C-alpha cells in the first residue's frame, strides 16, 4: 500500500541516498533509533543545528546529543577516559549517552553543546541509523523529534502529528523498540546518572565496579533538559493514585484494576519493558481523546520503572 503521508519513507537504496544527500546539504531528517525517533542534522554544521533548535522551539541552553557510528569516529571531538572505554565495550551500540569533555579543536558546532565544555555522545543501536552514520563523514546532532517539552515520538505517525508537513523526510522503522530516551551518564567528574533509562545504575555500577548514583537535581544543573517541564502531554497529571477517578484518564500498571473506559494499562502482565514502550503512546492517546486530567497508579520504582516514574514526574511538573 502506498503511504498517504508524502514525507514518510521506508528505507530502500533510493531513500537511503536521499537521506544522506539531505544531511550533507544541511537539511534535517527524522531517523529511528532503538529508544525514540530523533530529528537529525549535521553536528558540525551551524546551519543544521540552528534548524534543529528553531523547528523544535528548543531553548538554546539545552544541549543536544551527538550521535556516532562507532568509537573510531569520536577522537577529534571528545576526551575519552577509562570509564568510558569500559562502558562502551559492554554497552555500545545501545541506549546510553555519555557526557565527556569536549576537545578544544573539535568541529562540533558550539550551539549543539550550548557552549558547554562538555559533549553528550551516543552510539544508537538501530540498523537504519547505523547504516546512515556509516555512510557520512560527520556525526549527527539528534534530539527527540518533538517540540520542546513535549512527548517523544515512538513511531513515524507521532512525528507527523507533531510537525505536520514541516519536515521533508521521516524514515519509518515501525514502533521504537524501547520507547524511552537513553540513559545519560556524566563521566566528566564524579560519575553520575543525569537521566535514567533502560540501562540501569546497577548495570553501570557492575561494569565500573563501583557505586554509581543519580545526580541530585536540586544541587546540580548538569543535564539542562532535565530542569523544567518535559516529556509532557500538556495535561495536569497526578501520580501514585489508588482509586479509579471519575473525572479523568487513569494510567495503571498490572492487573489490580479491572478495565473501565477511562483506564489505560501500561502493561497488564506487569512487564516494565512493555510499560516503557507504551507510555508515550498512551500519553498521546489520552491527549487525542481530550481528557482534561491524568491520574497515574503507583508504578514499581525499580529497574526500568525508575525511568518511567522519572518521565511521568517531569510530565507532571
Binding footprint of ligand TXA on the chain (CB under 6 A):
33, 35-36, 38, 62-65, 97, 99, 113, 116, 118-120, 122, 124, 142-144, 181-182, 184, 194-195, 222-226
Q: How far is CA 77 from the centre of its chain?
A: 22
Closest distance of CB 164 from ligand TXA, Å = 20
Closest distance of CB 54 from ligand TXA, Å = 14
In the bound state with ligand TXA, the residue whose beta carbon lies nearer, of 249 and 307, is 307
Closest CA relative to residue 235, chosen from 258, 251, 222, 219 = 251
Between β-strands 78-79 and 183-186, what pairing exists: parallel, antiparallel or unpaired? unpaired
Determine how many CB atoms are found less than 10 A away from the CB of residue 94.
Answer: 20
* DSSP states of 159-190: HHHHHTT--S-EE--SS-SS-SPPEEEE-SSS
In the bound state with ligand TXA, the residue whose beta carbon lies nearer, of 224 and 245, is 224
Q: How far is CA 136 from the centre of its chain?
A: 22
In the bound state with ligand TXA, the residue whose beta carbon lies nearer, of 182 and 265, is 182
* DSSP states of 93-115: SSSEEEEEEEPTT--S-GGGGTT
192: β partners: 186, 213
Question: What residues contact 310, with CB distance under 8 A and at least 6 apart?
Answer: 195, 196
97 in contact with Mg ion (CB under 5 A): no
Compute φ and ψ for 193, nearest 5 degrees. Answer: -90, 125
Residue 150 binds which of ligand TXA, Mg ion, none (CB < 5-8 A, kind-dependent): none
Residue 182 binds which of Mg ion, ligand TXA, none (CB < 5-8 A, kind-dependent): ligand TXA
In the bound state with Mg ion, the residue whose beta carbon lies nearer, of 148 and 262, is 148
182 in contact with Mg ion (CB under 5 A): no
What sign does the dihedral 231-233-237-240 (CA atoms) show?
A: negative
Nearest residue to ligand TXA, by Cβ distance, number only: 225
Closest distance of CB 222 from ligand TXA, Å = 5
In the bound state with ligand TXA, the residue whose beta carbon lies nearer, of 19 and 194, is 194
Question: What residues contact 278, with CB distance under 8 A and at least 6 apart?
Answer: 179, 266, 267
Question: What residues contact 258, with CB distance under 8 A and at least 6 apart?
Answer: none
In the bound state with ligand TXA, the residue whose beta carbon lies nearer, of 196 and 248, is 196
Q: Which range binds Mg ion by CB under 5 A, 64-72, 113-121, 125-133, 143-151?
A: 143-151
Between β-strands 96-102 and 78-79, what pairing exists: parallel, antiparallel or unpaired? antiparallel
In the bound state with Mg ion, the residue whose beta carbon lies nearer, of 80 and 170, is 170
Closest distance of CB 159 from ligand TXA, Å = 11
Residues 294/251, Cβ–Cβ less than 8 Å: yes
Closest distance of CB 252 from ligand TXA, Å = 26
Q: Judged by CB under 5 A, which of 144, 188, 192, 278 binds Mg ion?
A: 144
In the bound state with Mg ion, the residue whose beta carbon lies nearer, of 223 and 267, is 223
Angle ∠(114,115,121) on CA atoms, nearest 5: 65
Closest distance of CB 18 from Mg ion, Å = 25
223 in contact with Mg ion (CB under 5 A): no
Closest distance of CB 199 from ligand TXA, Å = 11
35 in contact with Mg ion (CB under 5 A): no
Closest distance of CB 243 from ligand TXA, Å = 34
Footprint of Mg ion (CB under 5 A): 144
Amino acid at each position: 500500500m502506498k503511504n498517504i503521508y508524502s514525507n514518510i519513507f521506508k528505507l530502500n537504496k533510493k531513500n537511503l541516498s536521499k537521506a544522506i544527500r539531505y544531511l550533507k546539504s544541511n537539511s534535517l531528517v527524522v531517523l529511528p533509533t532503538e529508544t525514540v525517533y530523533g530529528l537529525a542534522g549535521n553536528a558540525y554544521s551551524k546551519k543544521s543545528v540552528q534548524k534543529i533548535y528553531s523547528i523544535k522551539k528548543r531553548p538554546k541552553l539545552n544541549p543536544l546529543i551527538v550521535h556516532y557510528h562507532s568509537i573510531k569516529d569520536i577522537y577529534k571531538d571528545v576526551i575519552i577516559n577509562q570509564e568510558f572505554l569500559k562502558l562502551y565495550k559492554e554497552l555500545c551500540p545501545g541506549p546510553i549517552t555519555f557526557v565527556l569533555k569536549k576537545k578544544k579543536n573539535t568541529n562540533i558546532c558550539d550551539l549543539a553543546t550550548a557552549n558547554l565544555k562538555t559533549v553528550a555522545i551516543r552510539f544508537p543501536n538501530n540498523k537504519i541509523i547505523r547504516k546512515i552514520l556509516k555512510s557520512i563523514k560527520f556525526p549527527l546532532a539528534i534530539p527527540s523529534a518533538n517540540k520542546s517539552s513535549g512527548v517523544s515520538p515512538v513511531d513515524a505517525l507521532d512525528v507527523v502529528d507533531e510537525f505536520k508537513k514541516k519536515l521533508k523526510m521521516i524514515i519509518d522503522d515501525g514502533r521504537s523498540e524501547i520507547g524511552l530516551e537513553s540513559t545519560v551518564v556524566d563521566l566528566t567528574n564524579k560519575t553520575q546518572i543525569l537521566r535514567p533509562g533502560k540501562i540501569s545504575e546497577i548495570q553501570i555500577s557492575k561494569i565500573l565496579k563501583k557505586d554509581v548514583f543519580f545526580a541530585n537535581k536540586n544541587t546540580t544543573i548538569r543535564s539542562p533538559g532535565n530542569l523544567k517541564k518535559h516529556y509532557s502531554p500538556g495535561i495536569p497529571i497526578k501520580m501514585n493514585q489508588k482509586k479509579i477517578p471519575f473525572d479523568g484518564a487513569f494510567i495503571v500498571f498490572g492487573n489490580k484494576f479491572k478495565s473501565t473506559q477511562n483506564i489505560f494499562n501500561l502493561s497488564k502482565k506487569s512487564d516494565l519493558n512493555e510499560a516503557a514502550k507504551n507510555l508515550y503512546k498512551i500519553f498521546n492517546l489520552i491527549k487525542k481523546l481530550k481528557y482534561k486530567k491524568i491520574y497515574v497508579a503507583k508504578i514499581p520504582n525499580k529497574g526500568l520503572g525508575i525511568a518511567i516514574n522519572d518521565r511521568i514526574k517531569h510530565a507532571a511538573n
